[in-house]
Amino acid sequence: MFKPLLLTLALLGQSAAADICQSTIEAIDLQIDTDTLTVSPAPTTHRERLLNFPARSFDFLTRDQRNCTSQEVFAFLAEIETVDDKCLRYADADTGFLLVPGQRNFRGRCTSGGVCTKVNSTREVVSNATGAMVGVALNTGESTLSKVTHSTGAVLLSGSGASISSTLGTAITSATAAVGAPIALTAAAVTAVAVGGAIYVCSE
């Protein structure tokens, strides 16, 4: 009678020993031990706690790792990246979230209503466009584009759609033509992201 109770208490003790959550950021599957974060996560908002409560309860029962809160994700990223004035925009199941310029809401998501469109072109076209983006990012010359590289290997170029098209030329326009992303390139604020062998065009 007491053995099941002792086993339950032992499992609860193990669960309390380490609080590990998971998230996918820029094609990297992260497992964050929140007890080791050097930057303390900001207090989770009451709204986010309510939204996460069902998932957290289910994870506790199944012993699966829970999804990280936005505060935990940004506390982790702050140790390796500059996260000021950046937000998370969902790409797809493989890539997860992209860290792009913009204001974030209580869940860390971008407040603007834009979307990130994946460039579904041939491997050669995407490779050429990625090479062009890396070349621009590593170039120390004058450029109207904001150039950022992340520790995940992601390369981001931000600016107007016209400036990105002008800087990258046919490399990006050929790649985006396959998915109608030239429409996105006409937006006033655009971020092109090359990560994990794929390219995303995010517009606001």
Q: Which strand (E) or helix (H) includes residue 107?
A: none
Helical spans, DSSP H, in 105-153: 123-138
**DSSP E strands, the chain:** 20-25, 28-33, 66-67, 86-92, 96-101, 116-118, 146-149, 155-159, 190-195, 198-203
- Would you list the domain boundaries of the chain? 2-80, 116-203
Predicted confidence (pLDDT) per residue in 36-60, tens digit: 887 665 554 544 444 443 444 334 4
Residues in the chain: 204
Distance from CA of residue 64 to its chain's centroid?
A: 22
pLDDT of residue 116: 84
Higher-pLDDT residue of 58, 136: 136
Predicted confidence (pLDDT) per residue in 90-102, tens digit: 999 999 999 999 8
Q: Which residues contact 174 (CB under 8 A, 6 or more apart)?
A: 121, 125, 128, 129
Q: What is the DSSP letter of 68?
A: P
Higher-pLDDT residue of 56, 136: 136
Bridge partners of 203, per DSSP, are 190
Which SS3 state, helix, strand or coil, does residue 187 take?
A: coil
Share of the chain above pLDDT 90, in %: 15
